A and B are shown apart, each in its own frame.
Chain A
């Protein structure tokens, strides 16, 4: 009994310790951002591996999600004779929710896990330690550019996801199912508000980008430097990112769109 309570207490303390470490780490990373801006090349290099290499999965997924939305939305709307609203359904679902959320989940799986594994391996092969001994701060040199690259890339990727998704919905709705071309776009334009819908979606993706990249670089930097430790950290990145994205999405949605 006492043993269980003790275990519980240790587990709780460990959790708070990690939480504290994560925030101190974040502070160091943010302090390192100015040095990244001075050395723009480092950022560009990371934008390539974090952002550009995630582009394919984002575009393909966006297209299919949009097409599925077109199909499903049409089947529901046609019962009410409101298939002209298909554009609205597709566009609103994408820019408000699916764009930021699905793009962030994919990003966590594609780029976040890669970041964790890369940093974790650098740690386990003593590369980070070696940099420290060469008087190079690894947080500034390695972590900060990756963090900034992820933070910038995800909103761009989420926006691309939404845009491609709308095009996918258009293909299915207008191209295959015969919804009126003009109605599709004009209803969409009438109902989708730039500042309220699109910008809120972008703000969501900025928040997710911050959190996912933070989790990814922290898990890598904080991992136990063995192959098992790195693999566990990679798994944790994906799981924690997904949980963070979905719970934050609820909070942000309630703040932005909910009339609570």
Chain B
């Protein structure tokens, strides 16, 4: 039988260790440290095709992650995808003429939205919309176009 003081100290250490583990998972393993999503603002963009973009996919500027996709909707009148992006409050100086493109990280990687800042002096606010968009590059289309142009080019060469 242990002394009751010692028992309390050991159990206290155990609980502290458990909480430290949770803290480590939160800060080191998960995205809690990089992006909390609470203090940011939401902007939207319309795309003709979003390819494999998903909710929680990253949003980057110059390759730096600044936010993530919070919602993907569909506009029944224009038949466009409406993508809402939650941008961290630290990056609140995106000009209103920023453009958005959907890229793929690597050949098989996930898709993400890359923002390209323009030159306007006004900044995007909560609920603002990115007007200039470029849809996802769908691999099948690219290959189709490539084969088509190859065939054409081949025809020329003949």
Contact = CB atoms under 8 A, between A and B. Distances in A.
Interface string B21-52: 11011101111111000000000000000000
Interface string B57-96: 0100000010000000000000000000000000000000
B30 A163 contact: no
Interface residues of B, number: 28
B2 interface: yes
A52 interface: yes
Contacts of A166: 24-25, 28-29
- Among A52, A55, A190, chain B packs the most CB atoms within 10 A around the CB of A190
A189 B10 contact: no
A51 B31 CA distance: 29
Interface of A: 41, 44-45, 47-48, 51-52, 55, 80, 82, 91, 95, 153, 155-157, 159-160, 162-164, 166, 185, 188-194, 197-198, 202
Given A41-B4, A44-B8, A82-B108, A189 B18 contact: no
Interface of B: 2, 4, 7-8, 10-11, 14-15, 17-22, 24-26, 28-34, 56, 58, 65, 108
A156 B12 CA distance: 12
B26 A51 contact: no
Contact of B25 (A41, A157, A163, A190): A163
B18 A156 contact: yes
A10 to B, nearest CB: 45
- Among A55, A80, A160, A164, chain B packs the most CB atoms within 10 A around the CB of A160
Contacts of B19: 156
A156 B31 contact: no
Given A47-B11, A48-B2, A48-B7, A197 B30 contact: yes
B11 A160 contact: no
Given A44-B11, A55-B14, A159-B22, A190 B108 contact: no
Nearest to B14: A52
Contacts of A162: 21, 25
A163 B7 CA distance: 25
A55 B10 CA distance: 11
Contacts of B34: 189-190
B29 A188 contact: yes
B11 A193 contact: no
Contact of B24 (A155, A163, A193): A163
Given A44-B8, A156-B14, A198-B25, 14 more contacts: A41-B4, A47-B14, A48-B11, A55-B17, A82-B108, A95-B29, A156-B17, A160-B18, A163-B21, A164-B21, A192-B29, A192-B30, A194-B31, A198-B29
